[in-house]
Amino acid sequence: MAITQREADAARALQGLEDGRSSVRLRAALAVGTTPDPRFVDRLVERCATEPEFFVRDMLTWALARHPVSLTLPRLLSEVRSERAQARSQALHTLSKIGDRRAWPAITRAVLSDSDDEVARSAWRAAVVLVPEGEEAGLATALATQLGRGERETQLSLSRALVALGEVMVPALLAATTAPDPRVRVHALATQRLLRDPDTGFEFAIEEAKRVVALGGSGQEGL
């Protein structure tokens, strides 16, 4: 039986996702998202786990978001439990872009504290998007356990997630300003500053917080 033009185009696009040239993979992902087809979903998700180029991964996420949630959601939730860190990270990133709150149960404490910084950062961003109304305070408490973690980029991601929750995160942040670990106190104080003044640069907020901690302050009077 002769294949249709649509089937030929689909086969060509899927083949393009495996091409050695990133420009070809980018065009293939664009083509797949432009003409969604249920046959694409598994291959898109699989490619997300191995694609080395950021811009191609972003296009893969866009392509997945163009497909019905009924098809993508179960596959992405499965990937959140993958042993491959990039698979977990990209699945969480895609879930945040789709924004369907049925994915919320997958954002567990274990996911929020994943040992891989990139996975954890994706989880924090997804959590802020997916958290159901009324559960923001619990999320803030969970996120606050990660204060002081990682390098600047990771810390900035966490601060942004906490600030995005708004005033509901103040109690968790306040508790962290008196933590035994000075890195936690510094990060909490810097986040506190960002909440009060969103235009403050993160580096400035961190350096200011370091001075406060060095002088034995907690910054609680600023809340």
pTM as predicted: 0.89
What mean pLDDT is predicted for residues 16-23? 91
Average pLDDT over residues 183-204: 92
Spatial neighbors of 177 by CB under 8 A, at least 6 apart, are: 185, 188, 189, 192, 218, 219, 220
Cβ 116 vs Cβ 85: under 8 Å: yes
Nearest Cα to Cα of residue 188 among 201, 197, 179, 199: 179
The 10s digit of each residue's pLDDT in 47-86 is 999 999 999 999 999 999 999 999 999 999 999 999 999 9
CA distances from 144 to 17, 149, 184, 188, 197 (A): 39, 10, 9, 8, 19
% the chain with pLDDT above 90: 80
pLDDT of residue 222: 43
Report residue 7's pLDDT band, with 50, 70 and 90 as the boundaries: low
Which residue in the block uniquely carries the two structure tokens 């990209």?
90
Q: How far apart are CA 29 and CA 10, in angstroms?
A: 11
